[in-house]
Structure 1
C-alpha cells in the first residue's frame, strides 16, 4: 500500500486554533492556545499560587475589626467577676487608691517624726567662752577728737552701729549663730579710722575640742565676716560704716 505525502506549510501564526498532530503516531490532537486566553488567565490571578490579594480598603477594614475585637475582649475581661460581685476593674481602682494613700501617709509621718538634731540644742549648756580680737578700717570716716574718746556721743553711736552689724553677720550664720554671744567695739583710732573689735562665742564643754578645731576655728570665724564684707553693696562704699575687706584682721 502506497502512502502519498503532502507538504504542510505554516509560518507559526496559522497554527492558532488548529489541531496539530504530535507526530508520534498516536494521532492525539494538540490545540495551540490563543494568546488572548493567556492574557485573561493572567489578569484573573494577581497573587502567588492563584491567591487573590486584598485591596488597601479591605486590609483597613480587617485591621479595624481586629482592633475592635481586642477592645471588646479587654472590656469583657475587666468586667469579669473576681470575687462575688467584685469586678476586675473595681479591684484595680482599689489597689491604685490604696498605693496612693500609703505613699501620702508615709510622707506625712516622716515629716512629723523627723527631727533635725542640729536644730535641737540647749544654750544653757554653752558655758565655755571663745574670744576673737581684731580690727578693720572705715575709709568713709575722718578721724577727729570726738572719735578718740569712747565716751563721746559720736564715738558711741558709731560703735553701736558697728556692733549691730557684726552681731547680724554672726547671729544669722547657720554654722556659728547658736554659739555667738556678742560683738564689742573697744576703740576707734587714727589711720583713716580704725575700729578695734572683740567677738565672743560660747560653747558646750563636751564639744570644746572639736569646736575649737573646726566650727569655731579662727579660719571659720574670719571667713564668715570676710565673705560678708566682700558681698557689701557697691553703694555702701560711700557710707560712713563701710568696712574695707582688705583691712580685716583677726586673732
Structure 2
C-alpha cells in the first residue's frame, strides 16, 4: 500500500515537473521570438502573378487572390496582345483616338465653308439694270417753312440730307435688299405738314431681272421693308408718319 502511494506521488511530481518545464519553455520561446520572427521575415516573399499574391514561408507557398489586381493584370495582358501586322492592341486604340480627334478638327474647320450661303457670292459689277421707285411721306411735328420749297436753301438741303440718311440706313441694313440698293434721294418738299417726295434706286443683274422684279425687288417687298422700319423709328426730329407712306 505504501509503495503504491509513493508511485502515485512520483508520477504526480513528474507530470507537474513536465508541465512546468513546458510552460517555462513556452515563456522562453516567447521571450526569444524576435530573432525567430526576423528569420521568418527573411523567408517570406510576395509576388504578383496574374492578380494573385504568393507568400513563401519555410518551403510552403500560400496564394491569396486579389480580384482587383487580377482585372488590372488581365487588362494589361489584353492591351499587349498583337491584333494585326505585329501591332499591339494599345497602339491600335491610340491610333483610332488620334484619328477621331483629327476628323473632328477637320470637320470644324470645313464647317463654315460647307455651310456658306452660295447666294452670298455675287459680283456687284454685273448689277447694271436699274429698278426705280418713288413716293412721298409726311413729317410730323415739323412746321412748314417757305425755305423748304427752294431746293438750294440751307434748310431744304439739311432736311433732305437727314431723310436720305434714314432711307439709306433702312435699305442698306436689309438682308434681302442691301446688295441691290444703290441710292435714296429726297428731291422736293411741299406744304401739308411738310410732305417729302423721295426716289429709290436699286440695281440688279440682267440674268435675274425677271425673278427679282417679281419677288425680292417687288413693290410690296420694298414698301413693307420701309414701313416696318418706320414703325420702329425713334428720331422725333424728323419723324416720318408710317401711315402717310406711299410707294409706286
The TM-score range, normalised by the shorter chain, is 0.5 to 0.7
| Paired residues of 1:138 and 1:240 also in contact (CA < 8 A) | no
| Paired residues of 1:139 and 1:244 also in contact (CA < 8 A) | yes
- Distance in 2 of aligned mates of 1:120 and 1:84: 50
Give the aligned partner of residue 185 of structure 1. Answer: 186
Give the aligned partner of residue 216 of structure 2. Answer: 215
- Distance in 2 of aligned mates of 1:114 and 1:246: 40
1:153 positional shift: 0.5
User: Which residues in structure 2 correspond to 1:83-122 (within 5 Å)?
Assistant: 86-109=87-110, 111-112=112-113, 116-122=117-123
Q: 1 or 2, which has the higher strand percentage?
A: 2
1:103 positional shift: 2.9
1:208 positional shift: 1.2
- Distance in 2 of aligned mates of 1:128 and 1:81: 71
Q: 1 or 2, which has the higher helix percentage?
A: 2
* Structure 1 counterpart of 2:239, from 232, 239, 242: 242
- Distance in 2 of aligned mates of 1:82 and 1:214: 63
Equivalent position SS for 1:182: strand
- Distance in 1 of aligned mates of 2:201 and 2:68: 80
Aligned residue pairs total 184
Equivalent position SS for 2:168: helix
When structure 1 is superposed on structure 2, of 215-224 and 183-192 the one drifting more is 183-192
- Whether 2:174 is the aligned partner of 1:173: answer yes
- Distance in 1 of aligned mates of 2:72 and 2:137: 81
- Whether 2:140 is the aligned partner of 1:143: answer no
Give the aligned partner of residue 78 of structure 2. Answer: 77
Give the aligned partner of residue 204 of structure 1. Answer: 205
- Distance in 2 of aligned mates of 1:163 and 1:110: 40
In structure 1, list runs of 5 or more residues that go unmatched. Answer: 1-63
Equivalent position SS for 1:138: strand
Give the aligned partner of residue 32 of structure 2. Answer: none
Q: Provide TM-score, normalisation by structure 2.
A: 0.67
- Distance in 2 of aligned mates of 1:196 and 1:173: 22
- Distance in 2 of aligned mates of 1:117 and 1:75: 53
1:89 positional shift: 1.8
User: CA offsets, 1:157-184, max 9 Å, x none?
Assistant: 1001111111121122121111111111
- Distance in 2 of aligned mates of 1:139 and 1:168: 20
| Paired residues of 1:150 and 1:156 also in contact (CA < 8 A) | yes
- Distance in 2 of aligned mates of 1:125 and 1:201: 13
Give the aligned partner of residue 165 of structure 2. Answer: 164
